[in-house]
Amino acid sequence: MVSGVTGGGNYSKESTNVFHEILVQLRKEMEQKEKVPDYFVHSAGTGGTISSVGRYVKRYNLRTRILLADSQYSLFYDYAISNKYEFALENVPTLRILPLVYRFTNESGTKIWKPPGIAGTGYGNNVDPVIYGETTSLTRSIVDEAMKMPDIASVAAMYVLKRRGIGGGASTALNFLASLQKAWHGRKVRGRLTIVTIIGDPGEYYKARYFNSTWIDEKFVDEGGMEALRCWRK
């Protein structure tokens, strides 16, 4: 359909899809030249939002690419890209480089999950494997690209957003960080990109955790705690 190629479906019932609302907002922005974004960046909790957006983009043949932002120890990246995840064997002292063992989605990710993770995102501490329709709503076929971000870097991004007056939470910061990474690398190939993401959770939910320096030093001790966070924040 012509309307799909140029900017999505202009139908009242489509307003139930968040990407339709994004396109409507872009059309109204007079200073915004690109009315269809190059990328939609979003993390996956249950996988419903990013899958819904991806289906909309595919239905109307839009040029927008769907980028899955995933947390450090989550299985979603490997599930979306290759339907497998990998982890290093433990307790092999004679090997300087740990071999990788590949597992398909018939095992859980508890062996590689490392708390605290990024709240509201990722899949790993669950005792069940990643199975579409049972343990996740994430549709693999709608994901064009996926990107893993270090957890401590995502937390640092929360502080950056807060400093700029954006009260985003953990999943919002992960979306923001992946968007920055894509913008940085993409500009070398395609120039300026139009990237859309969502403020998915408010930062006020995390005052006692991610915005608590004592908690950061305790939970991210292996990553360097607040000292590492300040380094990433720069």
CATH number at residue 81: 3.40.50
Q: Is 207 part of any domain?
A: no
Q: Is 184 part of any domain?
A: yes
85 vs 142 pLDDT, higher one: 142
Q: Is 215 part of any domain?
A: no
Of the chain, the percentage scoring pLDDT greater than 70 comes to 82
Residues belonging to the chain: 234
Residue pLDDT, tens place only, 125-179:
887 888 888 888 999 999 999 999 999 999 999 999 999 999 999 999 999 999 9
**Residue 101 neighbours by CB distance under 10 Å:** 11
- pLDDT tier at 84 (50, 70, 90 boundaries)? low
Residue 187 scores a pLDDT above 50: yes
Q: Is 25 part of any domain?
A: no
Q: What is the pLDDT of residue 81?
A: 83
Cis peptide before 116 (omega within 30 of 0): yes
Q: Is 217 part of any domain?
A: no
How many domains are there within the chain?
1
Beta strands in 44-181 (DSSP E): 65-71, 84-88, 100-104, 145-149
Residue pLDDT, tens place only, 114-123:
999 999 998 8
**Residue 171 neighbours by CB distance under 10 Å:** 24
Residue pLDDT, tens place only, 195-208:
999 998 999 999 99
Under 8 Å between Cβ of 134 and 207:
no
pTM, full prediction: 0.84
- pLDDT tier at 14 (50, 70, 90 boundaries)? low
Q: Is 185 part of any domain?
A: yes
Q: Is 122 part of any domain?
A: yes
Domain of residue 142 covers 34-149+169-201
